[in-house]
């Protein structure tokens, strides 16, 4: 009786005999594989389209809401404008009077730009006199360069600046020193460019004098007044 033959290399162990070889093969037809891939692709596309449509719907809703809100605000603003216009029409006469008054003020400002407030200036000149000086009169005139009122002669330049007018001051002082003090005080009056003593005469009651006060352009601008005045 013959014994079974053994493979070369020695006997095979039971564990090796039971081992399954790692062999795998895809036996599905190509049509089924492609069909599965197509269904998977369609699912991805459908989900993407659904998400896009959801976003588009949400954006459209937000845009519609914002448009509605803006229209409501516009309607409210138009209603406010209409109401304010109606209120303004109620006070149309007042608004017209205010506009006319503003126009008059503008015209007067341009017309009286070269005007001079003589009353204030002459009061300042009189107030500069001390108790030893009595001012008896003023004679004032503006230069023709101011462009308003009667035309007077062109005035010479004083200290490198051209005066816009002159005021001749006449008065009576106790002494010539009092006259000199008054002239110095006149030089400190706002708007005075310089002062020139024209005459001094010694009399029984004191020293009669006259002085010419040259005015700078800072005195211009004020209410209307005649350009030549005489105050006694």
So what's the pLDDT on residue 231?
46
Of the chain, the end-to-end C-alpha distance in Å amounts to 177
The residues near 30 (Cβ < 8 Å, ≥ 6 apart) are none
Angle at 154 between CA 190 and CA 186, to 5 degrees: 25
Q: Are 115 and 223 in contact (CB under 8 A)?
A: yes
Asked if the model's pLDDT at residue 124 lies above 50, the reply is yes
Q: Report the pLDDT value the prediction gives residue 16, as an integer from 0 to 100.
A: 60
**Would you state the pLDDT for residue 173?**
93
- How is the chain split into domains, by residue range? 25-90, 118-231
pTM, full prediction: 0.47
Label residue 222 left, alpha or beta by phi (over 0 means left) and psi (-120 to 50 means alpha). left
Average pLDDT in the 114-136 region?
87
Query: Greater confidence, 20 or 172?
Result: 172
Q: Which residues pair with 135 in a beta bridge?
A: 171
**pLDDT tens digit string along 131-153?**
999 999 999 888 765 444 444 44
pLDDT greater at residue 24 or residue 169:
169
Predicted pLDDT at 36: 81
At residue 8, the pLDDT reads: 54
Higher pLDDT, 72 or 116: 72
Distance of CA 182 to the CA centre of its chain: 48
Task: Note the pLDDT of residue 199.
Answer: 92
pLDDT at 209: 94
Q: Which one has a higher pLDDT value, 144 or 181?
A: 181
Name the more confident of 19 and 224.
Answer: 19
Q: What is the pLDDT of residue 119?
A: 85
Note the pLDDT of residue 134: 92
Q: What is the predicted pLDDT for the residue at 185?
A: 93
Share of the chain above pLDDT 70, in %: 72
The chain-wide mean pLDDT, for the chain, equals 78
**Interior/surface letters 102-117, b for 16+ CB within 10 angstroms, e for the rest:** eeeeeeeeeebebbbb
> What average pLDDT does this structure show over 105-111?
66
> What region, left, alpha or beta, does residue 117 occupy, with left being phi > 0 and alpha being psi -120 to 50 degrees?
beta
pLDDT at 138 (0 to 100) = 92
> pLDDT at position 232, please?
43
Q: What pLDDT is recorded for position 11?
A: 62
Express each pLDDT in 18-60 by its tens digit: 666 566 666 667 788 788 888 888 888 989 888 999 999 989 9
Q: How many CA atoms lie within 13 A of 60 on its CB side?
A: 6
| DSSP 3-state of 118 | helix
CATH of 118-231, one of 3.40.50.920, 3.30.70.2830, 3.40.1280.10, 3.40.50.720: 3.30.70.2830
């Amino acid at each position: 009786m013959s014994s079974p033959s053994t493979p070369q290399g020695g006997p095979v162990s039971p564990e090796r005999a039971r081992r399954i070889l790692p062999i795998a093969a895809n036996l599905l037809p190509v049509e089924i594989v492609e069909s599965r891939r197509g269904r998977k692709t369609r699912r991805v596309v459908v989900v993407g389209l659904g998400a896009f449509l959801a976003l588009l719907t949400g954006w459209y809703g937000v845009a519609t809401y914002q448009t509605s809100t803006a229209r409501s605000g516009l309607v409210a603003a138009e209603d406010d404008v209409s109401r304010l216009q109606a209120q303004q029409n109620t006070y149309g006469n007042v608004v017209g009077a205010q506009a006319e008054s503003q126009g008059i003020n503008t015209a007067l400002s341009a017309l009286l730009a070269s005007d001079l407030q003589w009353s204030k200036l002459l009061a300042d000149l009189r107030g500069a006199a001390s108790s030893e000086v009595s001012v008896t009169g003023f004679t004032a005139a503006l230069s023709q360069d101011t462009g308003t009122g009667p035309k007077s002669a062109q005035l010479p330049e004083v200290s490198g600046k051209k005066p816009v007018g002159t005021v001749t001051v006449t008065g009576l002082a106790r002494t010539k020193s009092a006259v000199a003090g008054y002239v110095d005080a006149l030089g400190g009056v706002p708007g005075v460019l310089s002062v020139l003593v024209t005459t001094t005469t010694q009399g029984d009651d004191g020293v009669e004098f006259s002085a010419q006060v040259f005015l700078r352009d800072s005195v211009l601008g004020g209410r209307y007044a005649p350009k030549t005045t005489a105050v006694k």
